[in-house]
Amino acid sequence: MIAAGTPAEVRHDPRVLKAYLGGGTMDARPRAAAWRGSRDAVLSCLKLSAGYGRVPVLDEISFEVRPVRWWRCLAQWRGKSTAMRAVTV
C-alpha cells in the first residue's frame, strides 16, 4: 500500500503523486502556431429520427460535425448517445 487516509489525503500524498506521475517535471514545448483543424464537416446528418422501441428520442434532427467545434457542443447536447448509435447502425 502506498498511502492511507481519506480520498483527499491520498490524492495529495507526495508518495502517491510520485508513483502515478513520476518524480520529474514535464515542460511542454511551445508551439509555433495553434493547431487549426479543417473547417469541413466530417459527418452530416439530415432529418435523423431515432429512439428506443416505441419511445422517440430524436425527431428529424439535422447536424454537421466539424472537428474544431464538435467537443464544444458535445457536453451540452441531449441525445448524443442515441444519435451516435443511429448513425453507426
Angle, CA 43 vertex, CA 70 and CA 34 arms, to 5°: 40
Work out the pLDDT band at 47, boundaries 50, 70, 90: very high
Q: What is the pLDDT of residue 89?
A: 57
Q: What is the mean pLDDT of the chain?
A: 79
Beta carbons within 8 Å of 10's beta carbon, 6+ residues apart: 3, 4, 16
CA 20 to CA 28: how far, in whole Å? 19
CA distances from 39 to 9, 31, 52, 60 (A): 45, 21, 33, 24
Residue 63 pLDDT: 85
pTM over 0.75: no
